[in-house]
Structures are given as C-alpha cells and as structure tokens.
Amino acid sequence: MSAALLMIDVQIDFCPGGALAVADGDAVVPRINAMQDDFPLVVATQDWHPAGHSSFAASHPDAEPFTTTEMPYGTQMLWPVHCVQGSAGAAFHADLAMDRAALIVRKGWNPAIDSYSAFFENDRSTPTGLTGYLRDRGVTALTMAGLATDYCVAYSALDARRLGFEVTLALDACRAIDMGGSLDGAMAQMREAGVAIT
C-alpha cells in the first residue's frame, strides 16, 4: 500500500449555506467520490472544535470574523463559529461516500490551538498522529482533495512534503476561500515545495 487519498474537511459548515461556506464547496463531493476507488487507502479529516474555541472571533471581545489575533504559537485568523463538536455543521456532507474511509482524523479539538493541517496543530509541532498511521501502512504518496485549498488542504500538503511524502493536489476536487490573495499564495508555496498539481 503506497498511495492514499486524503479527503479534507468535506463538512456541512464549509459547503454553501454553512457557517464558514466555501464558494461551490459542495462541488467537490462527486469528484472525490469518483476518486476513491483509485486508492488502496482513504483517510478523511474532520474539523472538530469545542464550543468557545480560541480561533472563533466570538471568543474574543469586540473581534470580528476574518481579522487576526496573536496567539502563543503565532498569528491566528479568527473565524465564524463553525464545525462545533456534535453539531450538524460539523458533519460530513451527506453525499460524501464514507464507506472506504479507514480513518477519520479529528482536528482543532484543542480549545487553545487551531489546526488546519491533517498532520500538525497550528503550533507546527503538536502531531495529530496521522504520520505514524500512514507510515505504518507503507504509504509514500498522498493525493489531497477537499476544503479549503488555501487553508487546510495547503497546510496538509506542505506538511506532507516536509515529512517526505510525495504529494499530489487534485485541484478540481478542491475549492478555496481565497481572501486577500490567499489562494495564489498557497498555490505558489505548494509548487515551490514540490507538490504536483493535477
């Protein structure tokens, strides 16, 4: 088993009508479903925040969503309340095929640290455990798909490259938030890191 598909955060709150909707986010679902049979291993990530998470603007007096604050681990974007543990918005999209998902990595559950990447929390050092899981199964190559291209997908792809995995970004199976040029910046970083874009 050398290749795996990583389905990133295909959740209700990131789809149209959700609390942190990504434009056209639900369009990734049919493409991701069609890709799954091409991989011997499928893994999903799920944003999974406790109520009152420190990355929520509502947890900071007078803060507005999409502004930033300084945290012990660096600059943190403040988001609308989203993907709260057990909420309808945290659920996977109803049409996303989950039968082949061998593992679900829940991230962002630590109330003090956000987690974009499938591999590390935003302090860039606390691991999720995914690296060991993949290495124990002989995975050397990862294909990334899901939401959002310029945040959780890009952070996951960059970390995977840093960890020595071959990484492919299935661009047609991703959608971006794209604030202030964030998509162009993320794409440039991924290309520079050696992520293959298909």
Decide if 9 is catalytic.
yes
Give me the catalytic one of 15, 107, 114, 174: 107
Decide if 174 is catalytic.
no
Give me the catalytic one of 9, 47, 114, 159: 9
Phi then psi dihedrals of residue 16, to 5 deg = -50, 130
Decide if 15 is catalytic.
no
Give me the catalytic one of 83, 114, 150, 152: 152
Q: How far apart are CA 125 and CA 103, in angstroms?
A: 21
Which residues participate in catalysis according to the annotation? 9, 107, 152
